[in-house]
């Protein structure tokens, strides 16, 4: 789910667009399942995923880039400026508490 990068971390996400209940929905294989209300039309769901992940990790949206999976539910994002340990701590807290960043 989280892989260290040179100046940040890579996070693997299983996207669930058009969700009734947006937010962190658990783990799907080795990916964090993240639900968003937006449809996958014209990148709306991708933008919502970036915004939700930014809020969850307390980083600006501009520090997150989609590096794989633009048209797939399986996505890989790079988050600049956060350590793997900090990302793991925040994601684990969201998974445990059911915190919904969106």
Residue 29 lies in a domain: yes
- Domain CATH number, residue 68: 3.30.1200.10
Q: Please, what are the averages of pLDDT over each run of 10 residues along the chain (102 residues)?
A: 92 96 90 94 95 95 96 96 94 77 50
Please report the sign of the dihedral spanned by the C-alpha atoms of residue 102, residue 68, residue 85, residue 30: positive
Domain carrying residue 91 = 2-97
In total, how many domains does the chain have? Answer: 1
pLDDT of residue 98: 61
pLDDT of residue 102: 47
Residue 80 and residue 7 in contact, taking contact as beta carbons nearer than 8 Å: yes
């Amino acid at each position: 789910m989280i892989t260290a990068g040179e100046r940040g971390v890579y996070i693997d996400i299983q996207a669930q667009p058009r969700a009734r209940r947006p937010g962190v929905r658990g783990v799907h294989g080795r990916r964090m399942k993240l639900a968003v209300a937006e449809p996958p039309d014209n990148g709306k769901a991708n933008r919502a995923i970036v915004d939700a992940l930014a809020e969850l990790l307390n980083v600006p949206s501009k520090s997150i880039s989609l590096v794989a999976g633009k048209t797939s539910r399986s996505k890989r994002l790079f988050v600049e400026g956060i350590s793997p340990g900090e990302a793991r701590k925040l994601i684990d807290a969201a998974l445990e508490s059911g915190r919904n960043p969106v």
